[in-house]
Amino acid sequence: MPGAALDDNDLIADRRLAAADPSLDSLVNVNEPADYERAHARPAPAVHVECFGLLARNGRRGVRAVRAAIIAAAARAADLDFDRHVVAAVNGEQVTRDGATPLVAGDSVTFVSADAGG
């Protein structure tokens, strides 16, 4: 029925949404400063981080599970300086140097030296 409100159970019944955001974190209302504080205090999503090339040295080889809401936090969790010499690929597609790029639960972040390949 058009205009009918959906509750959490209705939303999570959608397989694509359930897979992408099982806790419905992307739908948290942030209308007041207190809402923002509560949202900010929530645990960051669990993501997977992997480093390649020179970045994989010093114990950074292999996939690691970390909690990070943005790429810069994922880099910190991987003990990397996310600077102009590093790029990140999210889920093998979106390549960026923007540390503020948001992450959601289950994302895979790959860090590569920006000068790799020439």
Q: With 70 as the cut, is the pLDDT of residue 4 above it?
A: yes
User: What would the pLDDT profile of 28-61 be if each residue is shown by its tens digit?
Assistant: 888 999 988 988 888 898 999 999 888 877 777 8
Q: Locate the domains of the chain by residue range.
A: 8-41, 46-113
Is the separation of the CB atoms in 43 and 69 below 8 Å? no
Is the separation of the CB atoms in 66 and 74 below 8 Å? yes
Q: Is the whole-model pTM more than 0.75?
A: no
CATH number of 46-113: 3.10.20.30
Q: Percent of the chain having pLDDT more than 70?
A: 95
